[in-house]
Amino acid sequence: MSAFRLSDQILDAAGLSRELASASAGACVGFEGWVRNHNDGKAVQKLAYQAYAPLALAEGERIMAEAAARFAIERAICVHRTGELAIGDLAVWVGVSAAHRDAAFAACRYVIDEIKRRVPIWKNEFYRDGASGWLHPDGSPVEG
């Protein structure tokens, strides 16, 4: 299965984590991005992700290959949600196993940073006051 995946279903972190198992790995670092109930001072009710899937998958896979080339890791997987999510839902999961923890931490951080920076996925936040808005990576609103 691909190292980078999109899913419109609830993510199973425990099941994904099992795919990282390796008898020669001594460290596993996981990142979970959860839907937060606030952003930039506004109360968030839910959110929705859109992805340009073919390019998101290609760019995500490039990032995973970069992480494998830069860091001494064993396995790495990232799955990003699409569709509607509620507060507390898992929006993105990254897991990396490695012989040693330095590489696992560095690679996990690299993957989530690059995913957020480069992969064509967009977040629409729906606020408690009824407004909604597409966000920039810095959390400020995008004007159409």
Partner 1 sequence: MPRHYRLLYFASLRDCAGCDGETVATAATQPRELYAQLAQRHGFALAPERLRVAVNGEFANWDRALADGDEIVFLPPVSGG
Report the C-alpha gap between 92 and 63 in whole angstroms: 15
Judged by CB under 8 A, the chain residues 85 through 104 that form the site for partner 1 are 91-92
The only residue of 5, 7, 27, 59 in contact with a second copy, by rule CB under 8 A:
27
Antiparallel, parallel or unpaired: β 4-7 and 73-81: parallel
Q: Which partner, a second copy, partner 1, none, binds residue 108 by CB below 5 to 8 Å per kind?
A: a second copy
Strands (E), 21-98: 27-34, 38-39, 42-51, 73-81, 83-86, 90-98
Compare residues 73 and 123 and give the one whose CB is closer to partner 1.
123
Report the C-alpha gap between 118 and 121 in whole angstroms: 9
Compare residues 8 and 38 and give the one whose CB is closer to a second copy.
38
Contact positions vs partner 1 (CB under 8 A): 33, 49-52, 54-56, 58-59, 80, 91-92, 112, 115-124, 134-137, 142-144
